[in-house]
Structure 1
């Protein structure tokens, strides 16, 4: 038993107590873990800080080492070295380190809108810049400054979309769902752009009519409606957490004017944008 106790297990967690939604993702918690084969074996949901939320997803970013994540349906997800995997938390049974020290970041988040995630697919990463970005994000989220907190969450969300790009590259281009994801990823990464359907259709590429069919099939929205919702979600987070002026958001997000922006905002959220400002 003494050998087991001497095995170090670093388990540092940050709980996000502010509901910061950026580009359709809301980070709930961020774990920094180093587990040994002798000490790191977890029956889900022992590591959880809070009850499951609707539309939640677990993101496991493996920096080094080797681990296994077992699902309730009997499938086993094997992660090794530099990779990431998205998992439905309701499907997780248990997970453990095997063979070498498993260094990982375990993230929990919820999604809004229609963001398609390649659940269960182990995505190999060919760059190590993600590690530095995650470390910076953890330092920023720990700060007392709301601005730094928001920057840290934005940094994580940017990484998520970068990782999704790797998944699209690794999948056949004829996969219609992944093609739609590729377009959605560009919308969120360039949220301030005045998108035209013709611009979006060139990303895949496909005809404009085919793009509309893809969006209706996978998001239940037209491209125009999806873009509007994405922009309004971004605006809401910018107002609540950054006090960005209405006129600035209307201009940045390419609304006709502040009146049209406020009208669209109220139609979605049920309140005027001016009522959402933090007056502390």
Structure 2
């Protein structure tokens, strides 16, 4: 639960665009690399999709989640397809814009909770057409509601997980690190946990997260430290120890390297409370 919670707390989401489309039998999309994450909700008809080489069918009343950087191919299976398309950016801060959907092990096709998805997407369509200058705030809040729905386990019961998720050994290492924040293992020890050589583990980490294991571990510890800085008044040295770094000076240098400010300045800037 602690590991999952840190993923959620480090997730940043930004609404971009929503629109309804009507596609005829000649519509095709070929080898499109997605620059943003996309949700398609099919109102009518069905689609044949290939995402990163794996085939899927998205039918009427179903939702497709297409993460950014995926390679997409698609064509209609019916004479007409009507869908709602929602574009957004999402990232888990310490994952370096890689694999937020894979980190949560989300499916590509959602077959459940159709009514909830449909209602929310239609609310967003209506709001996007509003002339209200504050509509962007409402759309951002609705985008967060959409992520809440996508992350609910009940939304994808009886649904296959994507064929190409993170390598299970990378998942294992990450969850070891998340569940043992007080430790700072060597890369050789991480490799031993999953019975790999250091070089092989490094290649897997770079492929899946865009970072080498040591860089990933440093960013993860800074994210864990941010939470402790904001939720407690513990001394910096104590917080450093809780995230597995015994030298407070080294911790402060690492924190400033990742965030641009010192730990004490971060606490003062983001955790300061005004009492009335």
Give the TM-score of the pair, scaled to structure 2.
Answer: 0.48
Give the TM-score of the pair, scaled to structure 1.
Answer: 0.48
Larger Rg: 2
